[in-house]
Structure 1
Amino acid sequence: MIKVSGLTKKFKNYQALNDISFSVRRGEVVSIIGPSGSGKSTLLRSLNLLVKPDSGQLTIGEETVDAAALTHRNTTRFRRQSAMVFQHYNLFKNKTALENISEVLIYGRGYRRDEARDRAMELLTSVGLAHKASAYPITLSGGQQQRVGIARALSLEPEALLLDEPTSSLDPELRRDILNLIAGLAERSLTMLIVTHEMKFARDISQRIFFMEQGRIVEQGAPEVMFDPITENRTHRFLHEFA
Structure 2
Amino acid sequence: MITVSGLNKHFNHFKALSEVNFSIKRSEVVSVIGPSGSGKSTLLRSLNLLVKPDSGTLQIGNQQIQAESLTRKQIASFRRQTSMVFQHYNLFKNKTALENITEILIYTHGVKKNEAKERGMALLAQVGLAHKADAYPATLSGGQQQRVGIARALSVEPQVILLDEPTSSLDPEIRREVLNLIASLADKNLTMMIVTHEMSFARDVSDRIFFMEQGKIIEQGKPNQIFTASTENRTRTFLHDFA
Give the alignment's TM-score, normalised by structure 1: 0.98
Q: Does 1:219 align with 2:219?
A: yes
Query: 1:145: which partner in 2?
Result: 145
Distance 1:165 1:230 in 2: 23
Structure 1, gaps ≥5 residues long: none
After superposition, residues 110-125 of structure 1 pair within 5 angstroms as: 110-125=110-125
Q: Segments of 4+ in structure 1 off by > 4 A?
A: 229-232
What is the one-letter code of the residue matched to 1:9?
K
Cα distance, 1:24–1:232 mapped onto 2, change above 3 Å: closer
Asked if 1 retains the 8 angstrom alpha-carbon contact of 2:219 and 2:232, the reply is no
Match of 2:69 in 1: 69
> Quick one: distance in 2 between partners of 1:184 and 1:10?
36
Shift of the alpha carbon at 1:90? 0.1
2-structure distance, mates of 1:114, 1:230: 51
Deviation at 1:99, TM superposition (A): 0.2
Matched position secondary structure for 1:109? coil
Q: SS in structure 2 opposite 1:93?
A: coil
In the superposition, relative to structure 1, how do residues 232 and 37 fare at CA in structure 2: closer, same or farther (>3 Å)?
closer
Task: Look up the match of 1:180.
Answer: 180
Equivalent position of 2:135 in the other structure: 135
* Contact in 2 for aligned 1:85/1:153 (Cα 8 Å): yes
AA matched with 1:22 = F
Shift of 1:240: 1.0
1:1-243 → structure 2 map (5 Å cutoff): 1-228=1-228, 233-243=233-243
Identity rate, percent: 69
- Cα distance in 1 for partners of 2:69, 2:40 equals 24
SS in 2 for 1:6: strand
d(CA) in 2 for partners of 1:178 and 1:231?
32
Deviation at 1:233, TM superposition (A): 3.4
Indicate the RMSD between aligned Cα atoms, in angstroms: 1.0
Query: Amino acid of the residue matched to residue 166 of structure 2?
Result: P
Whether the aligned pair in 2 keeps the contact of 1:219 and 1:234 (CA below 8 Å) is: no
- For each residue in 1:108-161, what CA deviation from the matched residue of structure 2 results, as whole angstroms up to 9, or x when unmatched? 211111111111001000000000000000000000000000000000100000
User: Which residues of structure 2 form unaligned runs of 5+?
Assistant: none
Letter in 2 for 1:204: D
Structure 1 residues 162 and 232, CA, compared in 2 at 3 Å: closer, same or farther?
closer
Aligned residues: 243
Amino acid at match of 1:17: L
Distance 1:80 1:195 in 2: 20
What is the CA deviation profile of residues 16-54 of structure 1, one whole-angstrom value per residue up to 9, with x for unaligned ones? Answer: 000001000000000000000000000000000000000
Distance 2:56 2:85 in 1: 24
> Structure 1 32/123 Cα, relative in aligned 2: closer, same or farther at 3 Å?
same
